[in-house]
Structure 1
Amino acid sequence: MDHFLYRDGSLYAEDVSLAEIAARVGTPFYCYSTATLTRHFTLFDEALSGMDHLVCYAMKANSNQAVLTLMAGLGAGVDVVSGGEYRRAIAAGFTGDKIVFSGVGKTREEMTLALQGGIRQFNVESEPEMERLNAVAQMLGLVAPITVRVNPDVDAKTHAKIATGKKENKFGIPISRAREVYARAAALPGIDVIGIDVHIGSQLTQLEPFEAAYNKVKELTHELRADGHDIRRLDLGGGLGIPYERSNEAPPLPSEYGAMVQRVLGDLDVEVEIEPGRLIAGNAGVLVSEVIYVKSGEEREFLIIDAAMNDLIRPAMYEAHHDIVPVVEAAPGSEKVKYDVVGPVCESGDTFAKQRDLDVLGEGDLIALRSAGAYGAVMASEYNSRPLIPEVLVQGDQFAVIRKRPDYDEMINRDIIPEWL
């Protein structure tokens, strides 16, 4: 469920008309719903009620400071994957004891930053990382709390570019070597082993891969405890998918996911962390764009819009589907046209949809690409010297620009021309 609904034929974000925002902010822009963000976090939190747990928002999905501040205020933890994300989390009000640091390439500088600023745990991805973290912690006179990310070799049944739990992926250590690696970790004076981490991928639409991975983690927990390790926390990652196509069967609900977690792991006497990002932010956002031209080709109609692949790269990178709807509805029973919806960037890959059945549209009409709140603005670029687009947050009948559109001078003046040119 989201809070982008039609009223009297016009698409609203909560109680604000998207057409009104477009008139005041210009297009294209991202729009997020506070009510949807709040609801999706709450659903996850409630799904694990009765179990010691922390829902850590995976901020790589959407790291706008306003979104992060909202999450911190709701009591969420946060999962970060870089020093920049750590700094964003602190600036948004997260305390160190609620920050989990993931990622395969943590640097000395990032380790130092988190150890000095406060950290809930590092999710360690490799033995070289563990050795380096130990050295940095000892140099600072501190101890680094860690989980080790294990790779359970489970097929997440998702897009190859966002699968992370098979043995050919770069993430984690093979679960077959976990006892050996944990033994080494226990011998390092700058390391405090507190648990196990696992994350098998993103946009999973079935519970079976999660359950297979979690059963392997459960078995490993028993083995490591028998070896003398105090396994008191399990980081289960994120990855639960969202319904990008409204016509398709919906992925499992957070309540169904939570029930499975409690059934599989509820008897282990551990604290559980989960790290949803897409499911919290994805359907909480839309990308609003204006039609520039309708171009008739020999074989198809092209809807050329002012948003482009640099604004939302998911269709070009992942062949991802986003439902596309008009901001102003056509009358019931109106004619449909098959359009290729494309942007103005000089790439054939700058295509949002091919042969999509849409209402008849013309120059100046507004459309909304749904489910664009995750991995949209965070992956945007200035390719073709196109400025980053605004982000807008709605709450009830209010809206605010939470990232403005830079002007061209700002964009150009970031470059430095050497004196010798």
Structure 2
Amino acid sequence: MDHFLYRDGILHAENVPLPAIARDVGTPVYVYSAATLLRHFRLFDEALSWGPHLVCYAVKAASNVAILKLLGDAGAGMDVVSEGEYRRARAAGVPGDRIVFSGVGKTEAEMRHVLAHGVRQINLESEPEMRLLSRVATEMGVTVPVTVRVNPDVDAKTHEKIATGRSDNKFGIPIARAREVYAEIAKLAGLRVVGIDVHIGSQLTDLEPFRQAYRKVADLTGILRADGHPIERLDLGGGLGIPYARSNLAPPVPSEYGQVIREEVGHLGCEIEIEPGRLIAGNAGILMTSTIYMKEGEGRDFLIVDAAMNDLIRPAMYGAHHDIVPIVETAPGTDRRPYDIVGPVCESGDTFAKGRDMAPLGAGDLIAMRSAGAYGAVMASEYNSRPLVPEVLVQGDRYAVIRARPTLDEMISRDTIPQWLSEA
């Protein structure tokens, strides 16, 4: 469910008509619904209400500080994978003891920063990383809570580029080697084992891979406890999928996911951490864009819009589907025809949809690409020297620009010409 609905034939974000945002901010523009973000976070929180837990929002999904503050004020923790994401979470007012630092390539500088400013735990991904963290923590005179991310070799049955729990993926330590890795950590100064971490991928639409992975984690918990390690927390990752195509069957809901967690690891007495991102943010955002031209091609017609692949990369990168709807509702019985919906970037890959049935639109008409709240604005670039898309947050009948569109002059002014070229 989201809060983007037609009222009197006009698509609204909560109580705000989207054409009003287009007039004030221009297009393309990302628009987020605060009510949807909070609803989705609370669904996860309620799904784990049977025991101690912390829902850590995956910052990489949508990292605007306003979104982080909204969720943080509601009680969310944060899962970060870089110093930049950590600083965003702290700028949003989230305390360090609610921030989990994940990621396969943490640098020494990043370690020093989070240890100096507070962190709930660091999820270790390799033996070189744990040895480096031990040295840094010892030099700083601190002891840091850690988990080890184990790779359970479970096929998440998701897109190749977002699967993370198979043996051929770069993430984590093979679960078969977990005992020896934990034994080494126990001997390292500055590290304190608090739990186990696992994450098998993103956009999962079947609960069975979660069940398989969590069952392996439960077995490992017993083994590690028998070895003397205090396993108090289980960081079970995120990855629950969203319905990008409204016509398809809906993926499992958070309550069903929470029940799987309870059945597989609830008996262990551990605090549960999960790290959802896509399901919290995905359907909470749209990308609104304007039609530039309707172009007749050879055997196909094109709807050329002012958004492009640099604004929303998912269709070009993953072949991802986004439902695309007009801002002014199409009247019943209106003839539709198939269009390729494309942007102005000089790449054939700059295509949002092929053969999508739409009612004819004219120049300046508005459309919305749904389910664009996650991995949309955060993956945007300035390719073709196109300014980054602005972001707008709606709450009730209010809205605010939470990231402004830079001017072309501002964008170009970040470049510098070397003095030796100026002298020439």
TM-score (norm. length: structure 2)? 0.99
Within-5 A mapping of 1:244-393: 244-393=244-393
Letter in 1 for 2:221: T
Could you tell me which residue of structure 2 aligns to residue 48 of structure 1?
48
Say whether 1:35 aligns with 2:28: no
Could you tell me which residue of structure 2 aligns to residue 199 of structure 1?
199
CA distance in 2, matches of 1:212, 1:50: 21
Displacement of 1:356: 0.7
- SS of the equivalent of 2:288 reads strand
Give per-residue Cα distances to partners, 1:134-189, cap 9 Å, x unaligned.
00000001111100000000000000000000000000000000001000001111
CA distance in 2, matches of 1:45, 1:145: 23
Q: How many residues are treated as equivalent by the alignment? A: 421
Give per-residue Cα distances to partners, 1:86-122, cap 9 Å, x unaligned.
1111111011100000000000000000111001000
Letter in 1 for 2:377: A
CA distance in 2, matches of 1:3, 1:250: 17
Say whether 1:65 aligns with 2:65: yes
Displacement of 1:228: 0.6
Give per-residue Cα distances to partners, 1:191-214, cap 9 Å, x unaligned.
101100000000000000000000
- SS of the equivalent of 2:394 reads strand
CA distance in 2, matches of 1:279, 1:330: 28
- SS of the equivalent of 1:420 reads helix
Displacement of 1:127: 0.3
CA distance in 1, matches of 2:234, 2:420: 56
Say whether 1:182 aligns with 2:182: yes
Letter in 1 for 2:311: D
CA distance in 2, matches of 1:47, 1:381: 36
CA distance in 1, matches of 2:71, 2:110: 23
- SS of the equivalent of 2:303 reads strand
Could you tell me which residue of structure 2 aligns to residue 210 of structure 1?
210
Letter in 2 for 1:278: R
- SS of the equivalent of 1:308 reads coil
Which contiguous aligned blocks of 4+ residues in structure 1 show a shift greater than 2 angstroms?
Answer: none
Letter in 1 for 2:288: V
Displacement of 1:389: 1.1
Identity, % of aligned positions: 71
Letter in 1 for 2:299: E
CA distance in 2, matches of 1:231, 1:33: 38
RMSD (CA atoms): 0.5
Which structure 1 residue ranges, 5 or more long, are not aligned? none
Give per-residue Cα distances to partners, 1:221-246, cap 9 Å, x unaligned.
00000111000000000000000000
Letter in 2 for 1:280: I
Displacement of 1:50: 2.0
Give per-residue Cα distances to partners, 1:269-309, cap 9 Å, x unaligned.
00000000000000000000000000000110000000000
TM-score (norm. length: structure 1)? 1.00
- SS of the equivalent of 1:266 reads helix
Say whether 1:417 aligns with 2:417: yes
